[in-house]
Structure formats: structure tokens, C-alpha cells
Structure 1
Amino acid sequence: MSAAGVGDLVLRVDGRRPVSAAGVEEVLRLCDRAEDGYKAGVFVAYVSGAPLPGWTAALDVGLLTKWERAVRRLERLGLTTVAVAAGDCGGTALDVLLATDFRIAVPGVRLVPPIEGEATWPGMSLFRLARQGGLSAGLRRAALLGTPVEAATAGLVDVVAEEPDSVLAEVAAAAAAFTGKELAIRRQLLLDAVQYSFEEALGAHLAACDRALRRGAAS
């Protein structure tokens, strides 16, 4: 197995388009490639666009369940996942953006929780917005009223850059040194930290430390 470089694993998500079976299959296909062919490196998602009126017309809970599971699988990949965002990001684009490890945005990117019917869409992007960004005034307005929020001020992107490709290359170079399973363990420890107490988290951290010590001794 080799390391995935920029361009090896690329997902393009247009948030103007609703969730579809083809979109689910594309995410799963790339996750299969990532898991079967690469032990390290980057998975890159280019995200942009926000839903158009009527975007939920062909949706059902079964399709949404498949989409959320596919995004969750991407979120737990044993590779560094990187989003490159442009313009307004809502719907599927926002889902994928919030599921990645490292986020690069060009200037002017806005996060746009979609509105359907009487309220904002209650998908898992709401969960990730609250878990990752807290409940700041701007994010509360976004989550409850659909008010777009500037990505640069929301604390949900890592870098705002006119030339995102150069930042992406730097991230890819750094990620090449980290093996997949170990990275996935560290990511899970970070995700768990916002909901577990010190005492609840201690066992998992010590187990990860023990694993690292054993790997070091073996090498």
C-alpha cells in the first residue's frame, strides 16, 4: 500500500444538488479506494454550492440514512481528509466540509444551512456545527434561522487562502508521514473529548499510549 498524494483521491461535491444515490455511491467508491490502496496520505474534497428551492422533493429517509452513513465513513477514514471550499457551502457541501480533518477556504466562503419548509434542515450538519463550533451567536442564527455565516469568522476552517493549492500541497506533505490507523485513533480521541469527562476518556488515551509504545518497541 502506498501514500495517497494530491490528486489520487478527489471528491467534488456540488451543494446545489440534492442527496442522490449516485452521490452516495461516489463517496463510498472513493472510501473503498482509500481503504484498500493507501496506508497514508490525503483524501481531498472540493466543496461549493448551496441547495436550490425544492431540493428535498425526491428525498426519503432511506436515502438520507445512506448519505449520512457514507459521510460518517469518510469522517472516519484512515487518511487525512482535506476540504477545499469556495463560495456558499450548504447541503451536501456543508456535510462533507464539516466531516473533514483540515479545511481550506478561499476568501468569501459562507456556510449556509439549508432551509426546507418551516425551518432549517435538521440533518447531521447541525450536530457537527454545534459540536465543532459551539453555540456562538452567529452559529445559533445559522442553525436556527439559516442565516449564512462567514467561514473565516466561524472558527470552522483552518486556513483562508487566495491560492488553496499551495496550502493543500503543504498539508499533503505533512500527512504523508502518518499512518492511517494511528491517525484515525487520534481523530476519534479528539472527537470524544468534547463529550467525555477526563475519567471517562482516560482509559482510551492510555490504551492508545500503550499501543504507541508497543509499536515503538517492535520497530
Structure 2
Amino acid sequence: MGDTGLRLRIDGALAPSAEGVAALNELCDRAEDGGAGGPVVLEVSGTPKPGWTEGLTVGLVGKWERVLRRLERLPAVTVAVASGEVGGIALEALLATDHRVAEPSARLVPQAADGGVWPGMGMYRLARRGENAVTRRALLFGTAVEAAEALAIQLVDELTDDPAGAVARLAERTAQLPGADLAIRRRLMFDALTTSFEEALGAHLAACDRLLRRTADATP
């Protein structure tokens, strides 16, 4: 694919690891330092191998979850490009991005463990997409989600045989978005699912005030 910003490959065949956490943290560091120059792109594919939880600790899982949350709050547009079967940490990373592009042959495969579907925060993000037959089967039984099903329930935003073109179009469409404002709007969107109108009002007024001040400063 063409270079439209920062980019990282996430291999779902791997378990969460110190190396994987460090690589994603480094990507976030560069994005926060203003080095993106376009969307932050995650190329995601692969599913866990049998026995993938061997040696895995809750502490390491917690570090992986925290870096995904950091990704989710970046002052930059984040996009996942999915190909083939996508499970494990690849699926978890996809669910933490703003925009999700998938090849038509892609399949989202809930992460399997000896006791069934892995109960990590990928389950939480998947459940937040809304209760329907597809997500219910995925969460309870580990049933794979085909690309067309994922598009229908908005787990992915577009299916294309030209993911590079899709990323390039997204980069052009979002080039003028201030990163800090994007992060604020994203947070307000997340909070709206669990916060009352009265509790949310102050944060929304503060965001309005920020935009009005910037607009006034830009006026000749």
C-alpha cells in the first residue's frame, strides 16, 4: 500500500506480548508527536494458534488492553485494513479503530480459548455495536462473522478489493481535521452511550467553546 501515514502490522496468530505492546505504544508516541501525516493504519490479519494462552498472564493482557485504549484516544484518524481471517489481537485492534476497511474475503473470527470465546475487551467493543443475531452468535458461540455480515451490522465501514485506494480516499477526506478536536469528539461519542444529558452538558459546552475560540482566532 502507499504510504499515507503511520502503519503497523498486527498478526492475530500471536498472543499479546511485551514486544507487541511496545510496538503499538511506539506507534502511538509518533502519532501523538504529530508524525502521522495521515491516518494511522493497522494492517490486521491472522487468528490465534492452538495453545496461544500458554504462558500468558493477566498483567500482560492488561498492558495490551491499555495500549489499545491509548490507540482509541489518539489525536489522529485510525484505520484498520482487514484481510483473510482476522482474530485474536488483530480483531481486538480492528475494533479499536475509527474506520475499518475489509477485503470481501475477510472473516472476523472471535478469539478462541480452552473455555470458549476469550472474555477480553474485544468482547466489550463488539457488544457495544448493538445486540443482534450476528454479534450474539459471535460472542456466545465464537461463530465467525463474514465480511458482508460485518458490513451490514457496521463492524466494518467498507468492503473493497482496493484497500490502498480506500485508505488514500480517507486520508484526503480527513486531511484538514484537527487531531485534538477529533479526539474530543470521539470521547464525547463514547461517553454519550453511558452518560446522562446533565452530566454530558458541561463537556459538550467546553468543546463548543474551544471551537468558537479557534474560529474567532482564525477570523481576520
Tell me the equivalent position of 1:53. Answer: 50
Which of 106, 112, 135 is matched with 2:131 structurally? 135
Contact 1:40 1:179 in 2 (8 A): no
Contact 2:117 2:140 in 1 (8 A): yes
Q: What CA distance in whole angstroms lies between the structure 2 residues aligned with 1:207 and 1:39?
A: 26
Contact 1:40 1:78 in 2 (8 A): no
Taking a change above 3 Å as real, the CA distance of residues 183 and 6 of structure 1, as seen in their structure-2 partners, is: farther
Tell me the equivalent position of 1:199. Answer: 198
Tell me the equivalent position of 1:146. Answer: 142
Tell me the equivalent position of 2:17. Answer: 20
Q: Map residues 16-165 of structure 1 onto 2, 5 A cutoff.
A: 16-38=13-35, 41-131=38-128, 133-154=129-150, 155-165=154-164
Q: Which range is displaced more, 134-143 or 144-153?
A: 144-153
Q: What CA distance in whole angstroms lies between the structure 2 residues aligned with 1:141 and 1:171?
A: 31
Q: What CA distance in whole angstroms lies between the structure 2 residues aligned with 1:41 and 1:185?
A: 18
Gaps of 5+ in 2: none
Identity of aligned residues (%): 56
Q: What CA distance in whole angstroms lies between the structure 2 residues aligned with 1:177 and 1:31?
A: 20
Contact 1:40 1:79 in 2 (8 A): no
Could you say what secondary structure the match of 2:74 adopts?
Answer: coil
Q: What CA distance in whole angstroms lies between the structure 1 residues aligned with 2:141 and 2:34?
A: 43
Matched letter for residue 200 of structure 2: A
The structure 1 segments of at least 4 consecutive aligned residues displaced by more than 3 Å after TM superposition are: 5-8, 37-40
Gaps of 5+ in 1: none
Question: How far does residue 103 in structure 1 lie from its aligned partner after superposition?
Answer: 0.5
